[in-house]
Amino acid sequence: MVSVTVQNLEKVFPPNVYALRDVNVTIKDGEFLVVLGPSGSGKTTFIRCIAGLETPTKGRILFGDAPVIDVERGINIPPAKRNVGMVFQNWALYPHMKVFDNIAFPLKIKKLPKSEIERRVKEVAEALEISNLLDRYPRQLSGGQQQRVAIARALVKEPQVLLMDEPFSNLDARLRISAREFVKSLQRRLKITTILVTHDQHDAYALADRLMVINNGVVQQISTTDEVLNNPANIFVAQFFGDPPINILEGEGRGDHVDLGDLKIPIPAPQGKLQVGIRPTDIYIADQPLSPEDLELKPGRVLLVEYLGFTPVAVVKWERIEVRAVMYNKLKEGSLARVFLKKEGVKLFQNGVRIK
């Protein structure tokens, strides 16, 4: 397979809309990179530039050491010659073709011998466990089966790079889980360099070797999932990635503590206004602290209890402050609760940028 290097990539749509701004990233050979961002963030434009379906305004992209696009030098390898497999959001299967012909279509365009086409189609169909579907039409398939056909069509070309644009968005919740597991195991087995774009953070949790968070065409952070979750570069990343959502509170740094008005947290903080980020998993309601190092805050009033998955999360209120906190007991709404804080989970931001 091959690494992918993106250098100073920009894409401007007329009249002056920046879809991408100075994007720099290297995807290692065999790595699974998930590009995460909200709608309109530029993530689809990013992989379309790699595929050759969009021409960047500036910058270059290399497969290994060979440039496939270099705007300054006038290099632009056509999509058909980049040896990229792409899975689209709507899977784009031809309804009038049987599964075999859908998968074989890229090979027929290349005018490969019939025996070679048959060998490759049967090989990839077996790998994706859809050999029994080759004689069916797309309308006769479930959503998960159609997705596998789309992946088979991308892989049958034996691409250097696999690009996936929101491939799970048309699946129901239960099927999304099995589809993620399948894609992850397939990528690990084939060791193919893969870039998947999504707005769903659960895709990132399940799949990413590394995560690239993008917003308004600007890369916010590139790192492992754990690093992005626990050490977000800025408030946007902290709020966009993480479930349940992070609590962001306005406060004042006082040198040896943070003053939140209702609460004072004894951790070092620079003087001046700042924002305090605390994930609900780092502030909790319990009868006793989970660790001797955890701080006990003033008791707070439980306003609401909701279940996120199997985890009960409470909205706790003091005089002016409200936070979401994980519950480890069974207090009812309206009860006064003991609240504890993991000091290492407190994140400090100034002007939206992480300082601690």
Q: Both 278 and 204 in a single domain? A: no
Q: What is the mean pLDDT of residues 208-224?
A: 97
Answer with the residue of higher pLDDT: 113 or 190: 113
262 lies in which domain range? Answer: 247-354
Phi then psi for residue 203, to 5 deg, are: -60, -40
299 with 226, same domain: the answer is no
Please check whether residues 64 and 195 belong to one and the same domain.
Answer: yes
* pLDDT tens, residue by residue, 270-310: 999 999 999 999 999 999 999 999 999 999 999 999 987 77
Q: What is the mean pLDDT of the chain?
A: 93
Higher-pLDDT residue of 349 and 169 is 349
Q: Are 219 and 85 contained in the same domain?
A: yes
Domain count, the chain: 2
CATH of the domain at 19: 3.40.50.300
pLDDT at 128: 82
210 and 69 together in one domain: yes
- Please state the rounded mean pLDDT for residues 99-125: 92
Are 289 and 224 members of one domain? no
φ, ψ of residue 122 to 5 degrees: the values are: -65, -35
**Same domain flag for 139 and 175:** yes
pLDDT higher than 80, residue 355: yes
Q: Read off the amino acid at residue 262.
A: D
Domain ends where: 211, 240, 269? 240
314, 348: one domain = yes
pLDDT of residue 80: 86
**Whose CA is closest to 3, among 164, 193, 152?**
193
pLDDT per residue as tens digits for the range 30-57: 999 999 999 999 999 999 999 999 999 9
Task: For residues 42 and 157, state if they share a domain.
Answer: yes
CB within 8 Å of 126: residues ≥ 6 apart: none
Residue 334's domain is classified under what CATH number? 2.40.50.140
Are 212 and 261 within one domain?
Answer: no
Which residue from 65, 45, 66 is spatially nearest to 57, judged by alpha carbons?
Answer: 45
Listed range (22-26, 60-64, 168-172, 223-227) with the worst mean pLDDT: 168-172
113 and 37 inside one domain: yes
Among candidate residues 184, 206, 240, the one where a domain is terminated: 240
Q: Based on the domain organization, do 198 and 234 belong to the same domain? A: yes
Reference 72, options 2, 8, 12, 15; nearest CA is: 8
Can you give the pTM of this predicted structure? 0.89
What DSSP element (H or E) covers 179? helix 173-190
